[in-house]
Amino acid sequence: MRLDRILALTLITLCLVAALGNLLGGPPSSWEDADGANATMGDANVALLNIYGTISDAEATGLFSSAEGANANQLIKSIQDAREDQQIKAILLRINSPGGTAAASEAVYEELMRTRKETDIKIIASLGDVAASGGYYIASAAHHIVANPATVTGSIGVILRSQNVSGLLNKVGVQTSTFQSGPYKDILSPFRESKPKEREILQGIVDDSYDQFLKAIVAGRSITLSQLKPLAEGQIFTGAQAKAVNLVDSLGNYTDALQKTAEIAKIKGKPQVRDFGKANPFGDWDLFSTARVQQWLPDFAKAQSMGWQNIPLTLME
């Protein structure tokens, strides 16, 4: 059998195994107290939610996976589960995300705000390497935000991109034909330049989403719209800079955030933490996770990332 056929068969097999894992489950859930020791289900009073990677409404990850991005529906379900648990006094968000789609980020934010309005549960956000754009959108629903001094955060804004490859196609002699039901159905077509009316429509969508973003931050934090707008032009901040302009409340790492959680939620003794992520009966064994396949086959990761080109409106930059 030729080498290229062997490689193709290997790739197909690995993809099928990863897909099988995606169908059967999600990332492992862990149990720990303030010192990392195991805690029992009955003792848990802090719900931990990990928001890692790109925030989207994409399909949740699987049985053998260690988590591929932050799935909005799964996060909302975890927030609801924590809200219904009578022993939970606080939700601790661990955010390490560059952002994601506007709708997914807003959906998670709204569920957190519903928790604030309907319960006495306190919400604290702990920002990791990056908590920008949609990541900060979600964090703004917290009662208190803790950032590492070197965290990259902010990037408050909305971006919509389109490409015009008509010049390249003309150069190689490729022509395209479009049949559509209305004048704006191909509004983001990469095969021609955008028309003035189309640009007006698209800018209106961006402006409306941006306005929703600003209102969400104002509603979640002690900051006025006039104070926020100069900080919301897409610029990024370190955690220390963000604290100076009231985008975060205090500086520290996860341990500091956990201590602040106990303080705000008035938890006596060591807070008992339960990871409300989706359970994985195979624990940390992720030999056939999508992430592992990506390590083995870089082109597999590139193929997956191409799907994001079909999402026009994001909060990632």
Q: Give the max Cα distance, the chain.
A: 73
Residue 120 is encoded by which pair of tokens?
């006495």
Cα–Cα distance for residue pair 144/146, rounded to 1 Å: 7
Q: Which of 49, 105, 231, 242 shows the shortest CA–CA distance to 156?
A: 231
Counting other chains too, the contacts that 162-167 makes at CB distance below 8 Å and 24 or more residues apart are: 162/188, 162/189, 162/190, 162/194, 162/202, 162/312, 163/190, 164/190, 164/191, 164/192, 164/193, 164/194, 165/190, 165/191, 166/190, 166/191, 166/192, 166/193
Phi, psi of 206 (to 5 degrees): -60, -45
The CA distance from 13 to 9, in Å, is: 6
Which of the residues are catalytic?
Answer: 133, 185
Q: What are phi and psi of 118, to 5 degrees?
A: -100, -10
Residue at token pair 């996976």: 65
Helices (H), the chain: 3-24, 72-84, 102-118, 134-139, 166-172, 196-220, 225-228, 239-244, 254-265, 290-296, 298-305
**CA–CA gap between residue 317 and residue 199 (Å, rounded):** 20
